[in-house]
Amino acid sequence: MTRPILARIEPAAFRHNYLLARQQAGGARAWAVVKANAYGHGLLSCAEAVRDCVDGFALLEIGEAMRLRAAGFTQPIVLLEGFFAEDDLRLAAANAISSAIHCEEQLRLLELAELEAPLDVFIKLNTGMNRLGFVPERLPEVLARLRASGKTGQISVMTHFACADGTGIDEQLARFNAVAEPTGLPRSVANSAALLRYPHATYDWVRPGIMLYGGSPMPDMQSAADLGLRPVMTLASRIIGVQNLRSGDCVGYGASFTADRPMRVGTVACGYADGYPRHAPTGTPILVNGQRTRTLGRVSMDMLACDLTGLDAGLGSSVTLWGEGMPADEVATAAGTVSYELFCALAQRVPVVEG
């Protein structure tokens, strides 16, 4: 028998979330951000779910972009970190894959390259995230060099917000618009949080990411359910062992949990080697037979413990680690992380099924 753990992916939920994002975008076009194997959900599964309605795809790796082209997707594709070598640049141009340009090295590489076709580019500006991008004051120079190169097609401008899910975007947006708006070029600034909180900043292209997978970009303000989002991934397992504890008995490595009364404890076939966060503390929410309970003690490589006291549950009972009925955002918050990490950390050994 196979180990009783699997991740169930619901492509219909991905489609629902994308259509909601596009509706929120108003007249703007919406990339589906499918980087990192669609946040661990499966690139082609998610892409197929929106084949007939998606405006375009945003990702990082030229290899993933080529997988989409090989699968027959003709929509615009953009590489959010741009190209890393001349071969990538030539491949992107030959296959109508747009690219961010965020540094002098990329700009020089483009100026010197021999390309089969013009490359559509997005000039990335650093307006305060301080991760990637030209300082805004360089936009006129970069734009002039791109135009003079004769290597580009459509030129657009983009930036990325640091605090769209928190203190806001006003300062960054003002810096961006001071230089980008006068150019009249298409603009892209809104990620999931900005799309949901700041409709005045949708502009020409929006790039929803976490919301497409049923996670809230601002779980401390609004839950995914409140936003109308549906979970795309459900990580499920079963109880494979039951222990009856006396008061004073301990659970797991390090004896980090001690029972203060008689308890029933279930052992779940899921651990950090499956992608469950090792740092998730006692009290992290979990569903057993549809009943909400909590984890106990330290997460092991292949197993974790949960409280079955008073539950109608036992050996073989179904467990939902996150997903349908157990929001990934809640699990992530309890573990001191974000749902992005839970999804992306799903281990290769976990079987993935659709529907």
- The label of the residue with tokens 């300062």 reads 171
Known catalytic membership, residue 253: yes
Catalytic residue among 39, 203, 253, 340: 253
Nearest Cα residue to 308 out of 242, 234, 232 = 242
Instruction: Give the C-alpha separation, 86 to 54, whole Å.
Output: 29
- Exposed / middle / buried, residue 119 (Cβ in 10 Å: 0-12, 13-18, 19+): buried
Instruction: Give the C-alpha separation, 311 to 65, whole Å.
Output: 47
Structure tokens, 129? 């995230």
Total count of residues recorded for the chain:
355
Catalytic residue among 18, 35, 39, 272: 35
In degrees rounded to 5, what are phi and psi of residue 226? -60, -30
38-74 as b/e: b if 16+ CB within 10 A: bbbbbbbbbbbbbeeebbbbbbbbbebbebbbeeebe
- Cβ atoms 254, 232 nearer than 8 A: no
User: In angstroms, how far is the first alpha carbon of the chain from the final one?
Assistant: 22
At a CB cut-off of 8 Å and minimum separation 6, what does 252 contact? 296, 297, 298, 300, 305
Known catalytic membership, residue 198: no
Catalytic residues: 35, 253
